Amino acid sequence: MNLTPRRLFNAGLLLLIIAGCEPKETEEAAPPPLVPPPTPPAATVQFTQEQFSELRWLEGDWMGKMPDGTAFYESYRVINDTTVQMYALSDSTLVAKTDSSRIYLSGGRIYNEGRDGSRSVVERMDSTGVYFIPDRGGYRYVWMPIAPNEWSAKLENGTVYPMTRVRR
């Protein structure tokens, strides 16, 4: 075969094309996406109004303890068969509301929705507690009844907030 300059050029071009198509072993991984990963899907467990009524143990005014021992106060009121309203209170006078959330039953699911739009959904509810998973922002947590006038909230990071009833 006679290697003319034209054939050498075509052969070189062909090698460049082939080399460019082969995957590189030292190629770096693609950078992570700029969009955060989606939150876990909402729980698929279906609850009834009768099961939602089991949350009536929350009703009343509560004093909680932060990990450093500082007290905080919350009030839970049953509004109707499908809604419990929670208010964070500024101090032991139980008067000034500083924040709120709503626990409600909708479409067979039980949600805890904050004023900021964050929302958790109940994944499971049994004698050991009410287990929430994030639906729109937030984190996993569980409300664990201990006695008629005591319960605790435990976050997924292990932080526990003991709650004591101060008024029904």
Please check the confidence at residue 19 and state whether its pLDDT lies above 90. Answer: no
Does 157 map to a domain?
yes
Does 61 map to a domain?
yes
Number of other residues whose CB lies within 10 A of the CB of residue 78: 16
Residue 45's pLDDT band, with cuts at 50, 70 and 90, is: confident
Does 154 map to a domain?
yes
Mean predicted lDDT score pLDDT of the chain? 83
Does 1 map to a domain?
no
Domain holding 98: CATH number? 2.40.128.20
Does 35 map to a domain?
no
Contact 84, 77 (CB under 8 A): yes
pLDDT of residue 41: 54
Q: Which residue range(s) make up the domain with 154?
A: 49-167
Query: Each residue of 59-101: pLDDT tens digit?
Result: 999 999 999 999 999 999 999 999 999 999 999 999 999 999 9
Its pTM surpasses 0.95: no
Please check the confidence at residue 166 and state whether its pLDDT lies above 50. Answer: yes
Please check the confidence at residue 130 and state whether its pLDDT lies above 80. Answer: yes
Contact 101, 115 (CB under 8 A): yes
Rounded Cα–Cα distance for residues 141 and 74 (Å): 17
Does 23 map to a domain?
no
Question: In this predicted structure, which of 10-19, 44-53, 69-78, 86-95 has the lowest mean pLDDT?
Answer: 10-19
pLDDT of residue 30: 53
Amino acid at 61: D
Question: In this predicted structure, which of 3-12, 88-97, 144-153 has the lowest mean pLDDT?
Answer: 3-12
Does 135 map to a domain?
yes
Contact 87, 97 (CB under 8 A): yes
Domains of the chain: total? 1
Please check the confidence at residue 20 and state whether its pLDDT lies above 70. Answer: no
pLDDT of residue 84: 98
Tokens (6 digits) for 97: 């509301």
